[in-house]
A and B are shown apart, each in its own frame.
Chain A
Amino acid sequence: MKSVEEIKSAIEAAVPGAGVEIQANPSVSGQHSLRLAPSHAVQVATFLRDDPELALDFLSNATGIDWPDKELTEKVKVTRTVTKAVDGVEQSVEETVDETRKRVEPGCLEVVYHLFSVAKGHGPVVLRMKTVNRTDQVELPSLTLVWRSAEFQEREIFDLFGVVFTGHPDLRRLLMWDEFKDHPMRRDYVEPDDFEYEPTAHDEVLKRAQEHKNRGQGSGVRDQESAVGAGQ
């Protein structure tokens, strides 16, 4: 099979202005991925499927990644004009100071596709697409019309991450019910407080148990006096 660079040149030859980049994988497996621009993604996908040499006709997996907002602390050298007393005389002097700046790098949602070729027996080719941000611009083109197996997988990504796939024939929630409001696989998902009594709680579970007790919603064991005769 062609290497990632060769696939990239083939794509750029077939789909001009495709905007494909190689995202290198620093680990031992060396499975580098191709980052697609959402504007030309469907054309690139169609080329990858229909090309007689690549013939990537099988989408084995589509998954989502949540990149949360990152808070960066940087030390920046800043040149400032300060009035200082030099040799007893007030003067304006330029001073270089180290300043610590905090910056929030906005996160995004990413979708990763793994492609194989059943006809040729090679693969995988990994494609990636990123949304603009995590809050309001979460649309990506759907690759369902290129590979049918993306249908349910993109529904799952929509359900669990919140990526809206434009062009998907039936974009509904898959695992959760339709009235559900959250996206459970995001990093900032807060689970509802349906506490269950744990006999040997420790670490994270002990913390949750104590918070639940402080909220005063009762433990998992009922007093004998208030027991209602609901049993048979």
Chain B
Amino acid sequence: MVDEGLKIELGKQGVFVTTIEELYNWGRRSSIWPMQFGLACCAIEMIATTMARYDLARFGAEVFRPSPRQADMMIISGTVTKKMAPQVVRLYNQMAEPKYVIAMGACAISGGPFKQGYNVLKGIDRYIPVDVHIPGCPPRPEALLHAFITLQKKIDGQHLTGEGRPRFLDANAPGEFPVPVQGEHDLEPAANSLVWPLPAADR
């Protein structure tokens, strides 16, 4: 890590100093292409974010890829029903590493206003790891932009070596998550024990 002041001084002389990690992460975070994936009302807000007034493309989300194979990020926007949940996990598995998930809206975080419903999955983070949660019903486009920038900051802060390195650089970390089976009364298993429950917050 280079001292910031030294960097600025050298920069004034025309010398650009950086680390491989910074360059690598800068390249990754500036070009996150989401997948075309909208489930319910939050999808309309996501579409509004990509349109002219709020424009997600200026932050790097240039195109929304229709195929999960070509996408870097999945924005779960809308209520995840138990009927759709295996498909969501399957699509997540089909994405190539490094991949990120933004849970947009109350329904994707915890089931939202429809939590007591018979077909509502109480939060997609029961089955796949979520990087950014956006509260709101629906969250405003500015909130989605804020979440996107938060994700970019998170990617910036990832160290490529050592203990806390991201999943795609760790050979032992799981890349594919088990797809729930639609059983007789509920999805089986009810939650994936690797990702749910979430660890207690540091207070």
Partner of A222, one of B100, B186, B198: B198
Nearest CB in chain A to that of B99: its residue: A232
Interface size class, chain A: 20 to 34
Stretch at the interface among A12-20, A93-101, A129-137, A181-189: A181-189
Check if B184 is an interface residue, CB within 8 A of chain A: yes
Asked if B118 contacts A179 (CB within 8 A), the reply is no
How many A-B residue pairs have C-beta atoms within 8 angstroms? Tell me.
72
B118 and A191 within 8 A (CB): yes
> Which A residues have a C-beta under 8 Å from some C-beta of B?
175-177, 179-182, 184, 189, 191-194, 196-197, 218-224, 227-232
Interface centre among B83, B158, B163, B194 (most CB of A within 10 A): B83
The chain A residue with its CB closest to the CB of B170 is A229
Q: Does B90 contact A (CB under 8 A)?
A: no
In the assembled complex, the CB of B5 is this many whole angstroms from the nearest CB of chain A, namely 31
| C-alpha gap A181/B186 in the complex (Å) | 9
Give the Cβ gap from B24 to chain A, nearest Cβ, in Å: 14
Closest Cβ neighbor of B183 among chain A residues: A179
User: Scoring B residues 47 to 69 as 1 if CB is less than 8 Å from chain A, else 0, what string do you get?
Assistant: 00000000000000000000000
Which B-chain residue is minimally distant from A191 (CB atoms)?
A: B118
The residue of chain A having its C-beta at the shortest distance from the C-beta of B97 within the complex is A232
Most central of A197, A221, A223, A229 by chain B CB within 10 Å: A229
Query: A189 touching B194 by the CB < 8 A rule?
Result: no
Q: Is the CB of A230 within 8 A of B173?
A: yes
A224 engages B186 (CB within 8 Å): no
Question: Is the CB of B14 closer than 8 A to any CB of chain A?
Answer: no
The interface residues of chain B lying within 8 Å CB-to-CB of A197 are 197
